[in-house]
Every structure is written in C-alpha cells, then in structure tokens.
Amino acid sequence: MLAPPQVVQFVQAALECSIYIAPKDFGLTYDEIMEVGKRIGFQAGEIGDALQQIGAQQVTVRQVRNRFYPDHSTVTMMGVFALREEPDYRNFAALDFICSELNARIRAEGARNARLERSVVVERAVAQGIPRNDIEAAITIFVLCQQLIEEHGLLRRNGGLYQPLPSEQQSQAVGQAISKAARARGYPIVKDVIERRSDNRPKHVEPLDAFADELDKLGYGHFRLWWNQTVAEFRYGSTQSTPVSVCVLAAALVEGALAFVVTHARKLELRTLGSKPLKATQGLGASMIW
C-alpha cells in the first residue's frame, strides 16, 4: 500500500535536513525517522510504509550502516544554486568561500594540481567568521552532488574547471522561490533528534517511549517487549474509540511503571514509594500478567 504523499515528502525532507545539521554525521536511523515523524503527527505504520515505498523505488534514500541517507538524485538538487527555495538552509557565504578558494588554487597551480586540505580550509573559513557547521555542510553538499571529490582529506574539483560562485548563480534565478514547507517543519525536529545523540537527553520526547529506554537501567530489560506492545495497543485503542480497553491498558502501564521503579526509588530512599502495598509489585506478580 502506498504511503500518503505528504508522509513520503516529509521523510525525504527530514533526511535532507540531517545534512545541514550534522554534515559529518548525517543520515537518520530507523528509530530517529520514526521519532521525527511521530512528532509531526504521522503514525508508525504510514512512516514505515513511506520508507518501504521510497526504498523499493530506489529514488530518494539508500540505507547503509543502519541509517537512511539522501541518495544522488536528492543531493544533486542541493547543488543547483540557480534554484531559489524557501526556506533554504545552505549558507552561500560558506559555499562561495569553498568555491573561491578552489578557483584561486586552480589559477595558481592549474586544474590538474589544485587541491585543498579540508581541515585547513575549514579553519580558514572559521577565521573569516563563517560558522564551522556551515562550512562543513558546504563541503559535504559539494561532495555529495559530485562537484567536488574528497580523497584522504584533500578536496579537488570534479573536472578541475573554474566555476562561478554559487551566490552569482543564484542571483540569476528568475521567478518566485519554491516553498519547501516539509523542510521547514522538519528542520527543528531533526535538529533536536540529532542533538539527543550526544547530549544525554532521552532519545524520545514522548514519556511512554522514553521509559522503554530506561528499563535496561532499572534491571527490567526483558520487559521491554511487553511495555512497547502495551503502549502500541493503548495508542491504537485511543484512536478507535474503545474507552474500556484504553482504561485497562492505561492501568496496566501505570501499574507496570510503579513496579519497575519501586526498587530504584527505595534505593534513593523516596518515602512516597515505600508503602506496604508496593512491596508486592517488586516481584512483578500475577497482577501484571494480563
């Protein structure tokens, strides 16, 4: 079954945004794409269908090392500088800096010998006031759209020819800018998801999803499947107007959460979880087996 076009478009935009946000570590895992899509309001099933649809067509993404990436057909458009889009997260000062540096090197050393060391050109751009992430993104865009070739940290122009600056190319654009609403909606969410890779925050914003990641730390990792299945049934029931089943599943989640945290809470000497009725939950007794 084909996924709704807006879901497919959003997944494509999210993968593209990862290049601007994490140019040296771009792409999104399956779980990250699910997290981004759910925050917009898409359901897990339609997000999964969109990924399968895109993958089957082999048009917009490829999967390597458990991550999805924009493929050549998508990133090629990022190198079309005469096309104006809104919003546009490309930093043209950064793009111009790389281009002008290579043009100068070509004039001085010839197209065949012109090379730039990536680390050096990044530091020179930063010294000129260009944000480090933006100059890294500019290089990644040039490499992905095959205008530059990177080998062992050295950059050279594909074909070796002098090229006009990207800002000069864009100044020749005609007509109104193309609206990219999916890109605008996805950028702040993708940024937050990528930042959670290293800032010690939970990977999920939604508490029910975030709690599943804590079960291993609490010593109940073997109950992760039960938790996720119950949460999935609870959410599905919430969309189907089944109040009785939703109440039962909600009660199961609450009781389960108490059972999982009571031992940890007592180690922290939290008196609110030190009552006698909660002692029975420490063994995860029959009351949790539905």
DSSP code string of 153-173: TEEEETT------HHHHHHT-
Same structural domain, 99 and 158: yes
Residue found under tokens 């299945």: 229
Q: Which of 20, 176, 186, 139 is nearest to 89 (CA)?
A: 20
Q: Which of 252, 209, 214 is nearest to 31 (CA)?
A: 209
**CA-CA-CA-CA torsion sign (262, 263, 268, 269):** positive
Does some domain include residue 63?
yes
Does some domain include residue 77?
no
**Of 75-79, 152-156, 183-187, 285-289, which gets the smallest average pLDDT?**
285-289
Same structural domain, 63 and 183: yes
The rounded distance, in Å, linking the Cα atoms of 38 and 24 is: 25
Exposure class string for 189-217: b at 16+ Cβ within 10 A, else e: bbebbbebeeeeeeebeeebbebbebbee
Whole-number CA gyration radius for the chain: 25
Same structural domain, 167 and 93: yes
Same structural domain, 213 and 157: no
Please give the distance of CA 89 from its chain centroid, rounded to a whole number: 15
Cis preceding-peptide flag for 87 (omega within 30 of 0): yes
Does some domain include residue 269?
yes
Same structural domain, 44 and 116: no
Position with higher pLDDT, 95 vs 261: 95
Q: What is the pTM of this model?
A: 0.75
Domain count across the chain? 3
Same structural domain, 64 and 191: yes
205 pLDDT tier (thresholds 50, 70, 90): confident
Does some domain include residue 78?
no
Residue 18 pLDDT exceeds 80:
yes
**Crossing angle for the helix pair 30-40 and 181-195, to the nearest 10 degrees:** 130
Does some domain include residue 280?
yes
Q: Which domain holds residue 160?
A: 89-171
Does some domain include residue 238?
yes
3-state secondary structure of 48: helix
Does some domain include residue 201?
no
The rounded distance, in Å, linking the Cα atoms of 142 and 139 is: 5
3-state secondary structure of 116: strand
**Amino acid residing at 167:** S
3-state secondary structure of 68: strand
Same structural domain, 165 and 113: yes
**Of 35-44, 139-148, 229-238, which gets the smallest average pLDDT?**
229-238
Residue found under tokens 């096309």: 83
Residue 211 pLDDT exceeds 90:
no
**Of 29-43, 46-60, 220-234, 256-270, which gets the smallest average pLDDT?**
46-60
**CA-CA-CA-CA torsion sign (40, 12, 52, 70):** negative
Residues 6+ away with beta carbon under 8 Å from 6: 182
Same structural domain, 34 and 153: no
Give 224-263 pLDDT, tens digit per residue. Answer: 888 888 887 887 777 777 888 888 888 888 888 888 887 7
**Amino acid residing at 99:** C
Same structural domain, 128 and 148: yes
User: What letter does residue 176 receive in the DSSP assignment?
Assistant: P
The answer to whether residues 179 and 202 touch, using CB atoms and an 8 Å cutoff, is no
3-state secondary structure of 60: coil
Q: Where are the beta strands (DSSP E) in 35-80?
A: 61-64, 67-70
Position with higher pLDDT, 158 vs 265: 158
The answer to whether residues 218 and 261 touch, using CB atoms and an 8 Å cutoff, is yes
Q: What is the mean pLDDT of residues 115-142?
A: 96
Residue 194 pLDDT exceeds 90:
yes
The answer to whether residues 83 and 152 touch, using CB atoms and an 8 Å cutoff, is no
